[in-house]
Amino acid sequence: MHQSGLTVTAATVMLLGCASPDGGASRDAASAGPDVPISDGSAGQGGADSRTGGSGGQDGGNGGGGGGNDGGPDAAADFSVTGPADGAPTCGEQTMTVPHSAKTPDVIIAFDRSSSMTLMFGSGGGTRYTVVRDLLIPLVAAYDDKIRWGYEEFPRRSCPDGAFCCADDVTVTPAPATGAQVEAKIRAALTGAGTLTPTPSGLAKVAAFYQGLADGIKERWVLLSTDGQPTCLLAGRSPNDCMLMDGTNYCPSACRESVDQVKALAAMGVKTVVLGVSNESFGTCLEEMAVAGQAARPGGTPSYYPASNPAELETHLKSIVSGIAKPSCFIDLVSTPPDPAKVAVFFDGKQVPWDPGRMNGWDYEGAPGSRIRVYGSFCSTLEGFGVSSIDVRYGCPPCIGTAGC
């Protein structure tokens, strides 16, 4: 397994011993286990009614949820835990260990290499291309152990009509330790830069690639880096409805095709982050793509990341990449526990309390026994790459609150 800031070695499904972390038997206060949460996140009417932590609401209600938000897009579930089959022995009869590893996200950089990328950008003497190159390459290297990088560029270096209205295939497949390959592609990107901006074709190439990729990774992203609005159609030609709007060339039909491709990616579970690299106006097209991509910039409009100078670009790139890379506070359970009220979660051997109030601990998200969400300081530790191993133990009641752990 390749190493990262977060290395999850194994998930242990325990059906034996059921001891609390201090070596003794589970405390009486926790013996009843959590009640199965109902859909609104509150506890049910069973054995935990004397320990009402209150209903937590959905998605971090009442102060729960993730740790600090760095402003970038949020990654979803990074962890997957396989437990014993339904009907497995109860606590004290069996121990089962199953393979478990952190699944880092797939991220394909869709790189705009149109001729306008040669325009000057900022006061430092660099072009749009050289500034993006010099900021993006170190980030690719820094997150090479946390992100499975891929690469695609548009326009292609040679198009049938000679007008640079086509896009290249994905030339680097997302996989562990592909940073050096992506770096080489970025460094060579502007050799023979194309004239136009075939964004729809570039996105279509990425969508077709992801459609045929079976690598077991659920988290998939596109980082679209472009310095202008789309000026080509999927058919490989420039549209005839282009006009000047806010000082920039706006082609409504090319924009619609780009948004449609982003929506097609979203329908496959692929999120698109839109980065605009220009000191000119982008009009509305990048905004529409960013909204459709389901990875809008936090803080309201614009939903894309507008970089009008190198400093803004650096801030946005760091926010985007760190946001994608950070581990999620969701843990998916591949198999349903025999008794969802008897599940305990451990980080590096220390038990995480079950917290139906969703303030600082874990609780089920959605259907009981399918997905776990971690809240408060435990989530912050996960997001900060501070957890080396995660154990989810079936058959034993969890502790409740710090007194029980």
What pLDDT score was predicted for residue 70?
A: 47
Domain ranges (residues) in the chain: 1-73+92-102+329-405, 106-325
The CA–CA distances, whole Å, from 99 to 188, 326, 373, 391 equal 40, 22, 20, 11
Q: Map residue 323 onto helix, strand or coil.
A: helix
What pLDDT score was predicted for residue 30?
A: 36
Between CA 305 and CA 288 the distance in angstroms is 12
**Domain 106-325: which topology?**
Rossmann fold (3.40.50)
Burial class (CB in 10 A: 0-12, 13-18, 19+), 32: middle
Query: Residue 65: which region, alpha, beta or left (left: phi > 0; alpha: psi -120 to 50)?
Result: left
pLDDT beneath 50, residues of the chain: 1-70, 76-77, 82-100
What pLDDT score was predicted for residue 238?
A: 85
What pLDDT score was predicted for residue 388?
A: 77
Residue 342 per-residue DSSP state: S
What pLDDT score was predicted for residue 234?
A: 93
Q: What is the pTM of this model?
A: 0.71
Read off the pLDDT of residues 103-128 as tens digits, 9 standing for 90 and up: 689 999 999 999 999 999 988 889 99
What pLDDT score was predicted for residue 187?
A: 96
Q: For tokens 């292609």, what's the residue?
A: 156
What pLDDT score was predicted for residue 75?
A: 54
What pLDDT score was predicted for residue 205?
A: 98
Read off the pLDDT of residues 65-110 as tens digits, 9 standing for 90 and up: 444 444 567 654 455 554 444 444 444 343 333 334 566 899 999 9
